[in-house]
Structure formats: structure tokens, C-alpha cells
Structure 1
Amino acid sequence: MGIFKALPVVVVALVAVGCGSGEPPAPVTQAPVSSSRVVPPPALVVSAGIVEAGLGHRASVLTLTNNDAEAHTLNGYPTVRILDGTGKPLDVQVHHGVSYFSPDPGPKPFTLAPHEKLLSVVSWSATVTSGDTTTGAAVGVVAAPGEAEQTVPLETDLGTTGEITVTAWMKDLPK
């Protein structure tokens, strides 16, 4: 009975010294473990231009660039949300159409070849009447249905209006 109690200790000791061969066990090597994964860049990349101002109105041009090796077809308006400094969406109404800064060409299909660009104008009023003012730090933009939302830094001083206007994608800005 006493030998069976000591048996597990003997087995562990033999394993620890390389099963009694007299040589130390070979070191165990593992492939390095990475805590970050590589995320491929999006095929369609959105950027925002500087904020233009005039008579209490503001606007910025969103530029959509096809960084893919293949063409992409788009039609319509980007989906735009105003985000606070933590990335949380603000309660802002989004309208499609004309604004103080830009007419709206309306939705039409585009086939965007590699490295080609499309534009959309996001505009708002900084009017302050009564109530709390709203200021965004970024916009969340979905270029087309099925695409991932991209966060782009863009300060939006919406005053108390709580509204933005977005035009459809277009090749060039109206003159």
C-alpha cells in the first residue's frame, strides 16, 4: 500500500528529469502569440475636408476614394452620424438634399474605378436659439450599404439646431 502512495511522486520525478536519461528535458518552444490582429484597410476610404463657414452655416466635403484593385458601384447618399468625443452617436437629424453650401445632384449610380473619388457635402447651421448646444467631434460614415462605418474626425458646432444635411455622392462639386 505504501508503494502506491509514492508512485505518483516517482513518476513526476522521472518526467521532470527527462525520464531518467540523465539529460535535462528539451526546452519547449512556442510560436510567439500576438495580441493584435492585422485588419486589412477598407477598399473604400472616407476622409473629411476642412470646415468652411459663412453666415452661420458650416460645411465639409467628404471624399470617398477607391483604394481597391477592383471597381465598386455606388448609388445614393452616404449614411452619416455625428459622434461625440467618445465615439457615441449624438441625437442629430440627418436630411438629404440642398443646403446653403451645395445643391444636391440627387442619387445616381457611379462605377468607381481604382483610385477614383466621389464627393458628398455635409452641412449644418451653427444657429443658437434656446436650449443646449450640440458639438460633435467626428462623423461616422457608411459609404454604401454593406460597407463598414468609418469614423472621421470632424468638428461640428451644430448650435441648437440638431440637424445636418448630406448631399448624394457626386463626381465634382457644383460650380
Structure 2
Amino acid sequence: MNHRGTFLKVTNTGDETCVISGYAGVALEGAYHTAIKTTARHGSTYFATDPGTHPITLAPGKSAWADLVWTTTGAGTAHAKYLQISPTGSNSHSTVAFNHDLDNGTLSLTAWSSKPPING
């Protein structure tokens, strides 16, 4: 079906408990970290049911998860090399290697959950 996916995982590496909620902010980058127009669709994905937005309390060392999915049919292919991830959707983000071709720069993702996503 040309669907590809991975989990996003955020871990509280601090010394104090924190709370997150909602959806991660995501943006694609090409070679040399050039911006790629990115569309993020929130909700259930091909692989997992969306848990909906709700507060997740993360004690030090605890993690939250989201499902990230894209398609590869060749429609308006974006050649991504990196993915920016903002756990709270703010301007603060991490950039990770993400060497994938995907249709129209479109990503689908579930809200954060205290458990890894499961098939819906």
C-alpha cells in the first residue's frame, strides 16, 4: 500500500516531572537542511489509532510516543534528508536524520501517548 512509518519517542531527561499534550510539531528538510514544504495531518494513521489529545505526565526517565506515517506512491515526491521534531509544537526542536522520499511532503501523526501506538 506504499505506507511507511515509525514511532516518535520523547523522553524526559530532566530531574523534574513535566507534562506534555497534543501533537508533535514536524517539518521536513532536504539536503543541506533546506526547508521542504510540510503538511502534518493529525489523527489516526494507517498503522495506529489516535489516542486524542490529553495530558501526559512524564516523570524523569519516562517517555511518550506518537505514530508517524507517510506514503511513497511517487506523487509530488519530496526528497527528505532530515526531520525537525518539536515535542510541544513550539519553536524549540530537535533535528534527526530522515532519509526518505514521501508524497507531497505530507506526514500523518497521532497525538502523544504514554504507550507505544498500536494498530487500530
TM-score, normalization by structure 2: 0.89
Structure in which a larger fraction of residues adopt strand: 2
Cα RMSD after superposing both structures: 1.6
Q: 2:25–2:90: 8 Å Cα contact kept in structure 1?
A: no
Cα distance 1:133–1:67, how it changes in 2: closer, same or farther (>3 A)?
A: same
Is 1:174 aligned to residue 104 of structure 2?
no
Give the structure 2 partner of residue 94 of structure 1.
40
Distance in 1 (alpha carbons) for counterparts of 2:78 and 2:91? 28
Structure in which a larger fraction of residues adopt helix: 1
Note the alpha carbon deviations across 1:129-151, whole angstroms, 9 max, x for none: 4xx42121111011115562110
Distance in 2 (alpha carbons) for counterparts of 1:152 and 1:112? 22
Is 1:104 aligned to residue 47 of structure 2?
no
1:92-171 equivalences in 2 (<5 Å) = 92-129=38-75, 132-146=76-90, 148-159=92-103, 161-171=104-114
Distance in 2 (alpha carbons) for counterparts of 1:110 and 1:94? 21
Give the structure 2 partner of residue 43 of structure 1.
none
- Structure 2, unmatched stretches of 5+, are none
TM-score, normalization by structure 1: 0.63
Aligned-pair identity (%): 27
Runs of 4+ in 1 over 6 A off after TM superposition: none
